[in-house]
Amino acid sequence: MKDKNLNFFEAIAPERDKWKKKNYYYWEDIIKLCSFLIPENASVLEIGCGTGDLLAHLNVRKKVGIDFSRNMILIAKKKYPDINFMVMEAENLHFEEKFDYVILSNLIGYLEDIQKVFTEVKKVCHPRSKVIVTYYNFLWQPFLKLAEILHLRMKQPLQNWLSKQDIKNLLYLAGFDAFKDGERLLLPINLPIISNLFNRYLAKFPILRKLCVTNYVIAKPLQEEKNFNEDYSVSVIIPARNESGNIEEAILRIPKMGKHTEIIFVEGGSSDDTWEKIKEMHEKYKASKDIKISQQTGKGKGDAVRKGFEIATGDILMILDADLTVPPEELIKFYDAIASGKGEFINGCRLIYNMDKEAMKFLNLLANKFFSLMFTWLLDQRFKDTLCGTKVLFKNDYEQIKKNRNFFGNLDPFGDFDLIFGASKLNLKIVEVPVRYRKRTYGKTNINRFRHGLLLLKMCLLAARKIKFI
């Protein structure tokens, strides 16, 4: 099979671009998908790069393309002399470096041993690398075969036809965690107005999306750190407004995590003595605890969190609401989840365990259910509780989210959606940690359910336009 495929691609190489031009609408969508998924500062390896068009259209820091067809590589080098193309077999990768992203676009159908290739791919990945696999939906096999008969598509050698679950299983067997997947293109030809309607909108909805021609899977190396207890330092950011009665308890109940734990209070606009209490507790515990304090100049929890993140010196950033409805003792679970490599963005989930009576009003519960369904659909990753205030991520990843903030805008008063959208745009693996939700013992909520709910809904609609209907 391998020799037959090589002979086929060596022979077809001079005609390859002609056929891609004929089906430009499909190939442009693959470029659009990868351009959206891969950040500009990434190093990228494409395996099975063909004549190099996908790599050439990516705006990234470093590009390397390999293919087993010498003729394909000769054409790629001639077209794009500034990109590093080389002849190399996917089954035998030999690189000294690791790449941030590895692309296998419409390649796996031709491979004799897909699991072996995925195992080789792991050799060029570091722990935070991402692998993007695109392939045809097997439901389209008869239609694509018909297109070959009608000379609308390049004749293909015999291929493997895999479901998305098959691909994810092979990745798992090779040591990868396939944490995100999706579908694109309900209509893979360009019919004015009609194609835009089908592919930008209808293709995003349940049932119809399963009929799309392109499946894609995003995976990361499946490796868990074993001795991580002292690997990272931690900054716990506590936005505090009208929470005077909870300040000392927060300090006393936050566990020591990693090699160092600092606590950062950011006060803003309190009508009680919260700021005075923060200063008092800072003085009282400064000998035994690393505490930093600040006041925000802007408004909203989101602004306070961002100010705290700027002050933070820890490798890992944690948000803890000052109302202590999520017990501070639970933070150790979040540290374990991110430091062990189980996830790259850890989100609290209050909707698993039974919660204290009156901890969450009925309307809030309905809103949480609605937004969890909305986010699961929007981001192609399962969410159960988007509005839990406890969120944890690496500071390096936050810096990347901050750079991309203009992509979504600054509408979020709480910062929850801002971080979730940003984490998804960076393809971070998002993991939810169940927590027991307690009723507050001091003060009252700062949330205006209807006004803030409408604002969050507006953000969801913006995100749908930016990341779903593209």
Q: How far apart are CA 201 and CA 135, in angstroms?
A: 21
pLDDT at 380: 79
**How far apart, in Å, are the Cα atoms of 300 and each of 22, 266, 267, 423?**
52, 11, 10, 21
The yes-or-no verdict on residue 60 having pLDDT over 90 is yes
β-partners of residue 233 are: 260
**How far apart, in Å, are the Cα atoms of 443 and each of 49, 181, 240, 312?**
60, 43, 11, 27
pLDDT at 34: 97
pTM of the full predicted structure? 0.85
Token pair recorded at residue 108: 């796996």
**How far apart, in Å, are the Cα atoms of 35 and each of 60, 209, 256, 415?**
9, 21, 41, 26
Return the CATH fold of 233-468. Spore Coat Polysaccharide Biosynthesis Protein SpsA; Chain A (3.90.550)
What is the largest distance, in Å, between two alpha-carbon atoms of the chain? 81
Q: In what order do the strands lie in the sheet with 43-47?
A: 84-87, 62-67, 43-47, 99-105, 125-136, 214-221, 176-184
Helix axes 70-79, 2-22, angle to 10 degrees: 30
Burial of 176 (0-12, 13-18, 19+ CB in 10 A): buried
The yes-or-no verdict on residue 359 having pLDDT over 70 is no
Between 389 and 183, name the one with better pLDDT.
183
By the 8 A CB rule, do 388 and 347 touch?
yes
By the 8 A CB rule, do 375 and 461 touch?
no
Percentage of the chain lying above the pLDDT 90 cut: 66
Nearest to 270 by CA among 279, 258, 261: 279
| Best mean pLDDT range from 97-111, 411-425, 448-462 | 97-111
pLDDT at 1: 63
Those residues whose C-beta lies under 8 Å from the C-beta of residue 430, and which sit 6 or more positions away, are 179, 343, 344, 345, 346, 347, 379, 381, 383, 420, 423, 424
Residue type, 153: R
The yes-or-no verdict on residue 276 having pLDDT over 80 is yes
Owner of token pair 């506590």: 238
Q: What is the pLDDT of residues 168-221, one digit of tens each?
A: 999 999 999 999 999 999 999 999 999 999 999 999 988 999 999 999 999 999
pLDDT at 363: 66
pLDDT at 449: 55
Which helix (H) or strand (E) segment holds residue 210: the answer is none
- Average pLDDT of the residues of the chain: 89
| 6-10, 107-111, 309-313, 367-371: segment of lowest average pLDDT | 367-371
Grade residue 99 by pLDDT with cuts at 50, 70 and 90.
very high
Work out whether the CA dihedral 410, 400, 310, 227 comes out positive or negative: positive
| 60-64, 378-382, 422-426: segment of lowest average pLDDT | 378-382
* DSSP codes, 379-426: HSS--S-TT-S-EEEEHHHHHHHHHTHHHH-S--SSSHHHHHHHHHHT
The yes-or-no verdict on residue 443 having pLDDT over 70 is no
pLDDT at 364: 66
Those residues whose C-beta lies under 8 Å from the C-beta of residue 186, and which sit 6 or more positions away, are 198, 199, 202, 203, 208, 209, 211, 212, 213
Between 138 and 312, name the one with better pLDDT.
312
The yes-or-no verdict on residue 369 having pLDDT over 90 is no
Q: How far apart are CA 437 and CA 388, in angstroms?
A: 10
The yes-or-no verdict on residue 454 having pLDDT over 80 is no
Grade residue 375 by pLDDT with cuts at 50, 70 and 90.
confident
β-partners of residue 181 are: 217
| 33-42, 424-433, 437-446: segment of lowest average pLDDT | 437-446
Between 374 and 407, name the one with better pLDDT.
374
Q: What is the pLDDT of residues 33-46, one digit of tens each?
A: 999 999 999 999 99
260-267 and 233-240 beta bridge pairing:
parallel
pLDDT at 140: 92
The domain spans of the chain are 2-221, 233-468
Q: Please compute the mean of the pLDDT values over residues 228-254 and round it to a whole number.
A: 93
Percentage of the chain lying above the pLDDT 70 cut: 91
The yes-or-no verdict on residue 453 having pLDDT over 60 is yes
Grade residue 441 by pLDDT with cuts at 50, 70 and 90.
low
Grade residue 412 by pLDDT with cuts at 50, 70 and 90.
low
Grade residue 155 by pLDDT with cuts at 50, 70 and 90.
confident
Residue type, 205: F
Q: Please list the alpha-helical segments (H only) found in 23-113.
A: 24-37, 53-56, 70-79
pLDDT at 352: 77
By the 8 A CB rule, do 321 and 387 touch?
no
Q: Please compute the mean of the pLDDT values over residues 304-319 and round it to a whole number.
A: 96
pLDDT at 197: 95
Q: How far apart are CA 200 and CA 470, in angstroms?
A: 6
Grade residue 318 by pLDDT with cuts at 50, 70 and 90.
very high
Return the CATH fold of 2-221. Rossmann fold (3.40.50)
Owner of token pair 């020799």: 3
Work out whether the CA dihedral 408, 417, 312, 220 comes out positive or negative: negative
